[in-house]
Amino acid sequence: MIPPGLYDVDRSFEDNYNEGPFYNGDFPDRIILPQKTKIWDSEVNSPVGVPAGPLPNSRWIETYFRLGYDVLVYKNVRSLEYPCHPAPNCRFVEESKQLFYEDIGGGLLTRDAPDDMKHLSITNSFGVPSVPPSVWMGDVEKALSSAGKDQFMITGILGTPGLEERDMIEDFGYVASMAKECGSKAVELNFSCPNVCTGEGSIYADPENSARISKVVKEAVGNMPVIIKIGYLPYEQLKAVIEQNLPYIDGVAGINTIPMKVRDADGTQALPGEGRLQSGICGSVIRDVSQLFTKDVVKIRKELGGDFLIFGTGGIMEADDAIARLEAGADFAMMGTAAMWDAELAVKIQKKLLS
């Protein structure tokens, strides 16, 4: 069986936010790598981290730093309090084949928990909830202070469309300024959440519009590093997006999830509520497309003469997957789904990197 989750998928997001992570195990001795990894002007012990999503507050961040993950992304925050989609927010899904770009929007069935991490795939749909800035600003500060020596935290942010005060592009800049004000060392802009129903989820596919946002954010935060979190795209489109964003960014993270229509075996929509037939698939079933994304971004970086960092994300379930992602040229190997269940994965990867 897979280990018990640190994130309890049978409980609501609020329960997990308020009471998680559900971890009673020991914390490992730190594995110190002989060669540090550069992250802009800082250094980290290892290129091993957790992407935006599974770590919604400072308690989660502190736990994962103590588990040995050296680069953590604080789950996306917004300029206002924002509700979460109703539970359940995660379901296990079948993995009869690896999913690629051409599969987007197709159908997938749920399943019971798999026997091992290698076959763990889920759908996740939260809608990017946020506590108000009055809460997250203090909590981001606290989370930052839990980083050990040679560890680094990035703050994930999202602009919200439809506000009276500002349009979405300005809102991205506004949230980034608040993140900077509370001490963040880098921000990651979520251009690719498939679980919002208001258009923010497809920003990443639009070279001009995405670059407009990166520009506004860069102007707001000055020399603080800016990362864009994007999804898989065909090579030329991906190159156009990165090329337009290039003057304003210091990192590219991806992929996010692959959007699919998820049902139970009897045809019932797997996640309750309007607009939630389609949700984001992550875990083992997106490993190959994520590996391809890393290879493409490495090539694009070379072709464009860029010097941004690459946060290889998607389908890293075991130590060998992380090594393969780093060998493909990612500067960092980030695991979301796997880290929700496997508390020891960072250490397993670091031991492999040592050997």
Which residues make up the interface to ligand FMN (CB under 6 A)?
51-54, 75-76, 124, 126, 128, 156, 190, 193, 229, 256-257, 282-283, 286, 313-316, 335-338
Nearest C-alpha neighbor of 209 from the set 173, 244, 247, 250: 244
Amino acid at site 304: L
Chain residue at closest Cβ approach to ligand FMN? 53
Rounded to whole angstroms, the Cα distance separating 185 from 179 reads 9
What gap in Å lies between CA 210 and CA 262, rounded to an integer?
Answer: 28
Catalytic residue among 90, 182, 193, 282: 193
Min dist CB 201 to ligand FMN, Å, is: 10
Whether 282 is a known active-site residue: answer no
First to last CA, the chain: 28
CB 56 within 8 A of CB 84: no
Cβ at position 68, least distance to ligand FMN in Å: 17
Sign of CA dihedral 19, 21, 22, 24: negative
How far apart are the C-alpha atoms of 159 and 78, rounded to whole Å?
6
Q: Report, in Å, the least distance between residue 121 CB and ligand FMN.
A: 8
Q: What's the one-letter identity of residue 171?
A: D
Closer by beta carbon to ligand FMN, 47 or else 51: 51
Query: How far apart, in whole angstroms, are the C-alpha atoms of residue 255 and residue 252?
Result: 9
Nearest-approach distance from CB 127 to ligand FMN, in angstroms: 9
Which residues are tagged catalytic? Answer: 193
